Amino acid sequence: MIDEGYIKYQCYWTNQPSVSSEEVKQLNFWRERLYKLGLIGIYPNGVGFGNISIRHNNTIIISGTQTGVISNLTAQHYTRVTDFDWEKNTVTCVGEVQASSETLTHGAIYTADPEVNGVIHVHHLPLWQKLMDKVTTTNRNCAYGTPEMAREIIRLCQETEVKNQQIIVMSGHKEGIITFGKDLEEAGKILLDFYAEYKILG
């Protein structure tokens, strides 16, 4: 069952503007590209999937929960995560929308590697199946948006191979793939390179 889009963490949310249009310019550039490819979007049952984030001045700016239905996001569709604790399963955010259900997973990557400043999480079933266990793959018992997944991501990010590949397949989260890099440009290029190879080779 795909239950993407439903928040599992305890959210401490302040509902007020916190993100500017300038701060989300690069986020929107990549988000719109991925949306057009169907790597971010919405399932027929109305559940959204995929999210994108950057590290910004000791905070995380991330797309809001259940925004997959929207083709073009504005600043109000992003939120600023000011604190998170994956062990306690809590997220503190400020914005006009609550943070993505995958916030703890993004946070885990930023925690594990201080050089990472951009994280992308997409869904693509054929690519997910093709990459399973061929690139770094999470434990199948780790569900998305949980402390267990965050703990697993941190463990994987501490392995040299993962830092070199910069891609993780979430085996316990059907269709879920994560890429990351020193910025969104790098994270996006890694993802599109794998996607292009899949399209060519099938």
Instruction: Fill in the DSSP letter of residue 53.
Output: E
What confidence category does residue 202 fall into, taking pLDDT thresholds of 50, 70 and 90? low
127-137 pLDDT, tens per residue? Answer: 999 999 999 99
pTM assigned to the model: 0.94
Strands 41-42 and 48-49: antiparallel
Asked whether residue 1 carries a pLDDT value surpassing 80, the answer given is no
Domains of the chain with bracketed CATH: 10-201 (3.40.225.10)
**CA distance linking residue 162 with residue 184, whole number of Å:** 17
131-165 pLDDT, tens per residue? Answer: 999 999 999 988 888 889 899 999 998 876 898 99
What confidence category does residue 61 fall into, taking pLDDT thresholds of 50, 70 and 90? very high
101 vs 187 pLDDT, higher one = 187
Q: Is the dihedral of CA 76, 80, 86, 88 positive or negative?
A: negative
Q: Rounded mean pLDDT of 71-100?
A: 96
> For the chain, what is the mean pLDDT?
92
- As beta bridge partners, residue 137 has 169
123: closest CA among 42, 30, 14? Answer: 42
Q: What is the DSSP string of 79-147?
A: EEEEEEETTTTEEEEEESSPBPTTHHHHHHHHHH-TT--EEEEEE-HHHHHHHTTTS-B--TT--TTSH
Q: Rounded mean pLDDT of 12-30?
A: 97
Residue 65: both structure tokens together: 């929960």
Residue 74: both structure tokens together: 């504005």
